[in-house]
Structure 1
Amino acid sequence: MVDQHINLQLAHIGMQLRSEIAILLTQQNMPLNDVDQLNGQDLSTLIDFLSLHKLTDEPVFERLMRLDAAICQLELGLYGLCSDCESEIEQSRLQSDPTEQRCEDCAKRHSQEHRQELRLNY
């Protein structure tokens, strides 16, 4: 029952992301047949398409990757476990974002490391 609820949440997020991708592609002046062909495609096809068209810096791409990871984790029975330390992700974090990949401590650590990487790149 819980998995079914999570599946519904993730499916809803997937529909939202597909709409955002269609808008993005329209803004990028992609041919309408390209946009129409993506309708109903699986997540890996969408990820490949965005990568091919160099749209990986778009915020929707990261959210699509997180959705794909959450679905894979659910299929493997690992949903809700931190991708870094493998402890349980806090329920409040998962309720806020069902695609959450890290517990609060690891998310803070990741954020600090990412900020440090950004500083080193400039």
Structure 2
Amino acid sequence: MQQIRQRLSAIEKDIRSELVALDPQWRDMALGDIIELMAKRELCGNAIYARLVRLDAAICQLELGLYGLCADCEAEIEADRIASDPTEQRCQLCDEQFRHQHRQELRLTH
């Protein structure tokens, strides 16, 4: 678990440096507060926002003892997926289903 915490901390450090470049006030804010403020400023489409939400979810899951479990089906997320991205929220199958559904929704709205 310590290695996971270190990896998530390194990701947070990288994201925070990008955020501070956008707005210095975000330097010492809690992740949840930054997410809320970005949503209010309509920055949800920003790539940093998506990474920040995934990071916050991973940290919360770690604290709750649910880290590594799929957010959709609650099965264990494959080790290689977690190794390549410690903020991964879905197993391979659920991620494929989510992406397919999301593509369908985009087609319907455009």
Normalised TM-score (structure 2): 0.95
Residues in 2 aligned to 1:91 and 1:58: alpha-carbon distance in whole angstroms = 28
Residues in 1 aligned to 2:90 and 2:61: alpha-carbon distance in whole angstroms = 12
Residues in 1 aligned to 2:45 and 2:96: alpha-carbon distance in whole angstroms = 22
TM-superposed deviation, 1:49: 1.7
Segments of 5+ residues of structure 2 without an aligned counterpart are none
RMSD: 0.9
What secondary structure sits across from 1:93 in the alignment? helix
| Same amino acid, percent of matched pairs | 49
Show the counterpart of 2:39: 51
Larger Rg: 1
Where in structure 1 do 4 or more consecutive aligned residues deviate above 4 Å? none
TM-superposed deviation, 1:21: 1.7
Q: State whether structure 2 residue 73 is matched by structure 1 residue 85.
A: yes
Show the counterpart of 2:87: 99
Normalised TM-score (structure 1): 0.86
